[in-house]
Structure 1
């Protein structure tokens, strides 16, 4: 009888120990960086372009503007157990980007996701540069830059992108040069087009507030 009681006590202790580990893991911060998948407003799947700090010291990020509206919640696609980690606080419909303010207690920001590392922001790429992106749906893909075909705010490339890759960081080496916003015609066959990052930074700084003076991690 004593042996059975001891066995029960051991099993209960092990169970509580397991639950304790689970609770601890669930409360740990979500790791997010340019290329991380995010769930916007409990419905849209998109990709984080970059994460860093603004002039106010806030932890902020950017993604494609069509992913959601100000006030929409942000959840890490890979760490949904971490709950809401931020929200959209502003957007530009003309340039199709959105600003996210993160809760620093719930996010561990990093500068590398998958095969994309971001160390700085820079000027747009141009033909015949090759750029790459890290996206939620198609991962890491690269392609030649066709250049500015319509207006100075956008650059067209031959990278493979599909729905869910919106917001993906476009990099030349480790320099962030743009974000993925759309594709033309057929996914992964038609060219990708996206807003240049220098235009986004200039717009953020011109308006001030959250996101102004953005510096990537």
Structure 2
């Protein structure tokens, strides 16, 4: 009996040797859209504001500028197996936004993430508009707009945000109107503060290069 078992094991081993056991299949592309979590520089957790193509056809996205520095690698927080999917290429300290260039071979862009769909870009929200965001940390939350601060091109809202939600898209319906940059006082209690998207787009176009002529997916 022992001899028969030994022969059987030897046959099974030979079959595996012939067939081969290859490495696990490579991870699929990272699905990314406005509201997706991203890892910047291997450590900072932030949220992608929007993804689309610029005037030159490059796949690009936007997030909060304080999330990192130009040259830093970008990964998906929900699909780290996809590896590095892009790099931050430029940022504005004044308006606290950054432009990301993605590798189209490793990214599947979408216009809906969680409870937020982005179909276009529009003017800032104003009181008493209800706006919503999708963020890495707090997901989909909504709140009233307190006002557009014309002198700073920022808008205050009453949405719940915490660290990691930086860069989250702020939408009125399905129109992207801003991004999440900070909160005042206490997380999810104090008002959210973010740069208006029309100002960001105007600045990107004025600078030229990667991101100029941007349009969302």
C-alpha displacement at 1:3, in angstroms? 3.8
Alpha-carbon distance between aligned partners in 2 of 1:9 and 1:100, rounded to the nearest angstrom: 50
Which of 15, 22, 25 is equivalent to 1:23?
25
Matches within 5 A, 1:1-217: 1=4, 3-9=8-14, 16=21, 19=23, 22-24=24-26, 26=27, 28-149=28-149, 151-217=151-217
Structure 1 residues 12 and 206: alpha-carbon distance in aligned structure 2, compared to 1, 3 A threshold? same
Structure 2 residue matching 1:205: 3-state secondary structure: helix
Larger-gyration structure (1/2): 2
1:126-154 deviations in Å (ceiling 9; x for gaps): 11110000000000000000012473410
| Shift, 1:70, TM fit | 0.5
Q: Distance in 2 between matches of 1:71 and 1:194?
A: 24
Pairwise CA distance, 1:43: 1.4
Alpha-carbon offset, residue 5 of structure 1: 3.7
Whole-angstrom distance in 2 between the partners of 1:33 and 1:74: 14
**Could you tell me how far apart the structure 1 residues matched to 2:115 and 2:96 are?**
25
Secondary structure, in 3 states, of the residue corresponding to 2:199? Answer: helix
Equivalenced residue count is 212
Distance across 1 between alignment mates of 2:194 and 2:29:
30
Query: Residues 156 and 4 from structure 1, CA distance in 2 versus in 1: closer, same or farther, beyond 3 angstroms?
Result: same
Output the CA distance in 2 between the equivalents of 1:149 and 1:57.
Answer: 33
Give CA-to-partner distance per residue, 1:37-72, whole Å, 9 cap, x none: 000011110000000000010000000000001001
Q: Note closer, same or farther for the CA distance 1:171–1:10 as it changes in structure 2 (3 Å cut).
A: farther
Shift of 1:109: 0.5
Structure 2: give runs of 5+ residues left out of the alignment.
Answer: none
SS in structure 2 opposite 1:203?
helix
Structure 1: any 5+ residue segments left out of the alignment? none
Partner Cα distance (1:10, 1:128) in 2: 70
